[in-house]
A and B are shown apart, each in its own frame.
Chain A
Amino acid sequence: MISLAGRDIMHAWGKFVFTGVGLGLLIGITLSMAGIYRGMVDDAKVLLDNSSADLWVVQQDTLGPYAESSSIYDDAWRGIRGMPGVARTASVTYLTMQVRQGERDVRAMVTGVIAGEPGTPGWPPYLVAGRQITRGHYEAVADIASGFKLGDRLKIRRNHYTVVGLTRRMVSSGGDPMVFIPLKDAQEAQFLKDNDAIRQQRRRTAENPAFNRPQVPGLLDAVIASQSTNSNVNAVLVQIEAGHNAEDVAESIRRWKRLTVYTRSQMEQILVGKLIATSAKQIGMFLVILSIVSAAIVAFIIYTLTLGKIREIAVLKLIGTKNRTIVGLIMQQAIALGVIGFVVGKITATLLMAPIFPKYVLLEPLDTIIGFAAVVVICILSSIVAIRAALKVDPAEAIGG
């Protein structure tokens, strides 16, 4: 038996392919949306992986340092380092801001890391060019996605930094490239006020009789000095010794240091479950809407194609064609349309959208398989309306009268 659907498609392949391409662009957007969500989750995991930390110690009762602001003293690492099971600790700051380079600026997550040696928590784990930060000030390592190059001069707040190294896939949970600078500089960038604000604060402090007491010499200078220095960081990253349970070490730090501690799985839950949850819901809604629109388009196209063949279907029924053959004709066309659309959509998502989209688009093979199955199911369901119309066709229509 010949394939009626195949012959019909080959007969009007141009119309069919163009329709499939149109549908494919829509499917491409759908696949890209799924890829954007996967990219966001991957960005979050990469952020955690690249920090090389087992535990994140943050301000009590906050979800810091990524989902909420967190501020703890920069000497907290010493006490934590002495806890049982702790191998290494490092203070770290994170600040998402516009980093200027000449006339342009790039949104980046400026990360303050302590000087140390490779493997120190918070450091970029590998470089693709240049070297790590070796000086205590004014050097930077930038993610290659920022567009910065070795030797570029960056301006962060009032200071200039030279890019000495480039890394890859070091991004914030929002997909912004990371720029690493020495911790002290990062603390200044985050906490230090501008000169005008400092002068104003000094004047206000001097005008406050509680601080400016003639009978207590040196008090005003001491207060102003304390206001001018910044001794806070956002978090302390902790690596634990082999053989120790992360949760046990975390519990110990929580109990004795009065700080909140998150393990890797807890931090992943915060990033994926809270930080990008709203974005994930928005993307989910877009996926649902796009799926419905795709289904409606397939249903409309197949219904229109079927209505255009009513006379032929009546003849086929009159000459004894079984209903299942007619159902097969319509359903196979719907599936073929979906397959053409999916192939075009996959190519569009992979070769066109993913490379140019400003966010990381991760197209997982499993998503592709699920997407393909969904397209086939949607096409089958969408063909039901047309199938019902075809099955209602009276073979007597071929005779007329």
Chain B
Amino acid sequence: MAGKGIRIEGLKKRYGSGDTAFEALKGVDMQVSPGEVVGLIGPSGSGKTTLLKCLGAVIEPTAGRMILGDELIYDNGWKVKDLRALRRDRIGFIFQAPYLIPFLDVTDNVALLPMLAGKPNAEARSRAIELFQSLDVGHRAKAMPSQLSGGEQQRVAIARGLVNRPPVILAGEPTAPLDSERALAVIRILNDMARKFETAIIVVTHDEKIIPTFKRIYHIRDGVTYEEAGEGRGFE
């Protein structure tokens, strides 16, 4: 499923109209290649979350282009009919808090996505368990989310983002609730997974602990992005 990452050109988003109109994104350009983890950094109100919502096909941009893998998904209007299926099959999400479904065990929290895509339960679960081995939570496969530590929950959330092998994963402040050690561990995992599954990962963050790990960073300010080479201490 992974392809050529994600590329956005001149992406704009305006809220409201007339005198009360507010342009949250004023022409964002961004490209993230498969296997790459980039940081998206900016102060509050800079447009980070709006950009994340546009990239996640949750809200519709006002103008611009988005190419996901090989497919043009937005060109001054959505080019795909089923945004729900687009989010399910081609975009992975990792949130600030894990937001695991409390009434499903760890395996089914992850297997739910392929199940929703119509995969048989057994196949979906085996995919999830395979990911758990890579993320070192295989021994917690039958546990309920409430029985996991914060770090384990976040790894399960990463597995959920990866399970359908999307070309892009959007991670919103994924390390915010974690201490330095765990935060760096999560970033390490994201780097490993990006390479292993040829997935482009965009990490929206304020977390200074992890900023030095990015090779490339997009700064966003007043709805415009500026690319910058990161320190890239990374996890080669």
Which residues on A are within 8 Å of B, measured CB to CB? 1-2, 4, 7-8, 10-12, 311-312, 315-322, 325, 394-396, 398-401
Contacts and interface: CB of A to CB of B under 8 A. Distances in A.
Interface string B54-81: 0010110000000000000000000000
Contact of A400 (B49, B86, B103, B116): B49
A320 B95 contact: no
A1 B117 CA distance: 10
Given A315-B99, A399-B52, A399-B95, A7 B108 contact: yes
Q: Which 5 A/B pairs are nearest by Cβ-Cβ distance? A: A320-B88, A401-B49, A11-B103, A8-B103, A396-B58
Contacts of B52: 399, 401
A10 B101 CA distance: 13
Interface string B15-48: 0000000000000000000000000000000001
Contacts of A399: 49, 52-53, 56, 58, 93, 95, 172
Nearest to B99: A315
B6 interface: no
A315 B50 CA distance: 17
Contacts of B160: 319
A395 B58 contact: yes
Nearest to A329: B103
Given A2-B115, A401-B50, A318 B87 contact: yes
A400 B88 contact: no
A401 B53 contact: yes
Contact of A319 (B50, B113, B144, B172): B113
B34 to A, nearest CB: 21
B121 interface: yes
19 contacts: A1-B116, A2-B108, A7-B103, A7-B108, A312-B99, A316-B101, A319-B160, A320-B84, A320-B113, A320-B116, A322-B116, A398-B93, A399-B49, A399-B58, A399-B95, A399-B172, A400-B96, A401-B49, A401-B50
A12 B103 contact: yes
A4 B108 CA distance: 10
A322 B117 CA distance: 10
Contacts of A312: 99, 101-102
Nearest to A317: B84
B198 interface: no
A11 B84 contact: no
B104 interface: yes
Given A2-B112, A319-B88, A399-B53, A7 B104 contact: yes
A394 B108 CA distance: 23
A318 B50 contact: no
A266 B89 CA distance: 72
B148 interface: no
B143 interface: no
A394 B58 CA distance: 9
B1 interface: no
A7 B93 CA distance: 23
Given A7-B108, A321-B116, A399-B172, A315 B101 contact: yes
Contacts of A317: 84
Nearest to A312: B101
B218 to A, nearest CB: 17
B57 to A, nearest CB: 9
Contacts of A398: 93, 95, 99
